[in-house]
Amino acid sequence: MGVLTRALAPLQTKSDTALVAAFDEGRPLAPPGGVSFEKAYEQGYSANEVLYACLELIADTASEPTVVAERGSLEEPEIVPSHPASMLINNPNPFYSRFDLVGLCQIDLGIAGNSYQRIELSRRGEPVELWRMRPDQVRVIPDRHTYIRGYVYNIGTEEYFLEPKRVIHFRTRDPYNQFYGMPPLLPAFARMEIDAFMLLFVRAFFENAGVPAGMLTLNRILTRQDKRDIRTMFRQEQGGPKGWHSLFVVDGDGSAKYTPIGAGLNEAGVAMPALDEINETRLTGVMRVPQSLVGTRLGNQSAAYANRKADQHHFWRSRQVPEFERLGAAYTRALRVYWSDLSRIRFDLSQVEALAEDMKELHDRVRQDFQTGIIGHRETRAALGYPADVPTDDVFMVPSNLLPTPGAEMLEIPEPEPPAPPVVIGAGGATDDDQDPATATA
């Protein structure tokens, strides 16, 4: 290492440390195992009514917040209404609206834990369109030093390589995987299967005219081979949903005997409501959606207007506000490459009906802080989302009982008042301090 190299080494902002393993570099990395996008879609979104209602509710919220582009510092940002970045998200392509694009993004995140949008560039290299890519058709290509070398997008038999700056990758958290998000349906997959089996059980019961499963036998001594044949025949003919409620007949001599070996709806019906409620609670808990908003059994029991309103507020505050913050951060990270003046893309939640109560409380608190002298006029306007500087060409209604005080005078210490003169008692001018205690009278 030369003298100049050693001298400049402390000034380097990026080291040569590898970010990924060598055997992962340069090849498309498959998503982690568990639940594939196709399987989660078929058994979750398209087959489970609770999960479908949750995902559609989440996707519908994309219509409420508006997209805002800001430039300048994060402390005092300037909103740019016609910034190309916000216009791109609001009108992503000729076939998708912002509602479609962001809604599909949230559904993809709910099913696969990953969502991808492809940036189409003009001849001058500027973003002109955004297109959604199916999560199961995209693969990440790791790089030891740049982290992500690119993405591979497969459409049928064709394969396309996309540079990292051409792809907006949204993903959920997964502490075990550094490139892909974890599907939220993965912890709930066993619940989805139980729900599916319950549906198949009820369907098989009615397909067999409501007759429970049973076995008809004849009294005789069976050899070991006969028992093996019966077990094989039983597995072949009665295995699976189609054989749950069928009749199994065994040859024999003597009187016939019928033995029920399965539960009908009278017996199973006792446990099904409880299982339904458990499954619905677990599924909505994984999706972080209050039950009253998707019409579950327990949700309908507490679906009063006040409860539903409180659940709407909780749903937005605990789930959707962080979700839109995450989406805005991903858009900012991807589009700042093309517009250097862009400081942040955010979703404006001030017009969301479920959060209106929060805005009212904010205005009341800021107004009180201003009237009690805790914050100034510029801070008040900034806290409520207005420009800090007062427009000089506008007219304001100011209450007459407020006394404006310049900020420069807020820290001035007033001069102390002179002490009061001592109290004089008696004609001789003696004070209490001058009197002799022995001669003092009441």
pLDDT, tens digit, 9 for 90 and up, residues 282-307: 888 889 999 988 888 887 777 676 78
| CA 2 remoteness from chain centre | 51
Q: What is the enclosing helix (H) or strand (E) of 412?
A: none
Q: Which residue has the higher pLDDT, 372 or 97?
A: 97
- Mean pLDDT value of segment 246-253: 55
- Report residue 194's pLDDT band, with 50, 70 and 90 as the boundaries: confident
Residues linked to residue 118 through DSSP beta bridges, in sequence order: 131, 167
Gap between the Cα atoms of 1 and 8, Å rounded: 11
At 442 the pLDDT is: 46
At 18 the pLDDT is: 72
- Where do we find the tokens 């099913």? 111
Give phi and psi for 131, each to the nearest 5: -130, 140
Q: Which residue has the higher pLDDT, 22 or 185?
A: 185
Which residue type does 426 have? G
- Mean pLDDT value of segment 24-43: 79
CB-count exposure of residue 304 (10 Å: 0-12, 13-18, 19+): exposed
At 197 the pLDDT is: 74
pLDDT > 90 fraction of the chain, expressed in percent and rounded: 33
Residues linked to residue 129 through DSSP beta bridges, in sequence order: 120
DSSP 374-389: SS-HHHHHHHTTS-SS
Gap between the Cα atoms of 428 and 156, Å rounded: 115
At 198 the pLDDT is: 73
Q: Which residue has the higher pLDDT, 121 or 200?
A: 121
Of 25-29, 318-322, 379-383, give the lowest mean pLDDT range: 25-29
Which residue type does 103 have? G
DSSP 300-369: HHT--HHHHHHHHHHHIIIIIHHHHHHHHHHHHHHHTTT-TTEEEEEEE-TT-GGGHHHHHHHHHHHHHH
pLDDT at 267 over 70: no
pLDDT at 142 over 60: yes
Gap between the Cα atoms of 308 and 424, Å rounded: 74
Helices 321-335 and 98-112, axial angle in degrees (round to 10): 110
- If we measure between CA atoms, which residue out of 59, 140, 49, 57 comes closest to residue 99? 59
- Mean pLDDT value of segment 352-373: 82
Looking at the chain, the number of H-run helices and the number of E-run strands are: 13, 12
E-assigned strands of 163-269? 167-171, 214-218, 247-249, 256-260
User: Could you say which DSSP state residue 182 is in?
Assistant: P
Beta strand pairing call for 214-218 and 247-249: parallel
CA dihedral 4, 8, 14, 20 (to 10 degrees): 40
Q: Do 144 and 192 contact (CB within 8 A), yes or no?
A: no
At 435 the pLDDT is: 53
Helices 265-287 and 189-207, axial angle in degrees (round to 10): 150
Per-residue tokens: 341:
């003046």
At 324 the pLDDT is: 95
Q: Do 347 and 328 contact (CB within 8 A), yes or no?
A: yes
Beta strand pairing call for 114-121 and 78-79: unpaired
pLDDT at 377 over 50: yes
Per-residue tokens: 20:
């990924």
At 63 the pLDDT is: 87
The residues spanned by each domain of the chain are 32-140+154-201+288-349, 352-390
Per-residue tokens: 285:
């808990």
At 60 the pLDDT is: 93
